[in-house]
């Protein structure tokens, strides 16, 4: 058996050298905190049994981490968050590995400049991978459907911006001056 591996021929124990050394292309990811905040602030939120996902359109000319790294700024970018509430580091890392693989298998369903953030639930740990894969595919199909029908997406609308700014104004309370007597 070792003789086969040293000659470069494939065997059951040692796959073809070309296949064994190839790496998968990296996923187009969200990198910057500002990108995550923009999606949370201006995007839409939907829930599925195994995850919650957020998505928002991205302007082609907007600066992003992808353009600073010399990558093309067209196409989808995916963010994945796993907080401490999901468990210890071992559990969170396993959740991330499973979700990344499901995203890698289904990212072709998305087209256009869109940012998607996935928030998995703890149930991802015990779920069968096929169900995780189906849920990610369902989420991406839903995002693509919303992007194809702008009336459903309602993304980056002036009313959303107005709601955000009015909320900020209401939350900025002015403290009464200590020298002013209370009535």
Tell me the per-residue pLDDT of 62-82, one tens digit each, with 9 for 90 and over. Answer: 454 444 454 445 789 999 999
**Is 134 domain-assigned?**
yes
Question: Confidence band (pLDDT; 50, 70, 90) for 167?
Answer: very low
Q: What is the mean pLDDT of residues 74-98?
A: 93
| Sequence-ordered alpha helix ranges (H) in 43-82 | 65-68
| Domain contains 15 | no
Q: Residue 78 in 3-state DSSP?
A: strand
With respect to residue 92, please indicate whether it lies within any of the assigned structural domains: yes
Decide if 105 contacts 78 (C-beta within 8 A): no
Question: Which CATH number covers residue 123?
Answer: 3.30.230.10
Asked if residue 25 is part of any domain, the answer here is no
**Is residue 98 situated within a structural domain?**
yes
Burial state string for 119-149 with b = 16 or more CB within 10 A and e = fewer than 16: bbbeebeebeeeebbebbbbbbebbbebbee
Domain region containing 64: 32-153
């Amino acid at each position: 058996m070792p003789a086969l591996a040293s000659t470069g021929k494939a065997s059951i124990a040692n796959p073809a050298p070309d296949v064994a050394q190839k790496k998968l292309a990296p996923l187009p990811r969200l990198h910057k905190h500002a990108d995550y905040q923009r999606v949370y602030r201006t995007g839409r939120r939907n829930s599925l049994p195994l995850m919650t996902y957020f998505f928002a359109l991205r302007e082609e000319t907007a600066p992003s981490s992808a353009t600073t790294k010399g990558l093309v700024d067209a196409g989808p970018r995916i963010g994945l968050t796993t907080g401490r509430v999901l468990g210890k580091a071992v559990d969170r890392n396993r959740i991330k590995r499973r979700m990344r693989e499901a995203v890698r298998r289904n990212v072709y369903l998305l087209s256009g400049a869109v940012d998607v953030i996935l928030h998995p639930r703890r149930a991802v740990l015990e779920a069968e991978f096929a169900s995780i894969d189906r849920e990610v595919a369902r989420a991406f199909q839903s995002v693509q459907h919303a992007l194809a029908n702008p009336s459903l997406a309602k993304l980056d609308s002036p009313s959303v911006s107005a709601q955000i700014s009015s909320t900020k104004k209401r939350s900025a309370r002015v403290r009464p001056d200590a020298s002013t007597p209370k009535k």
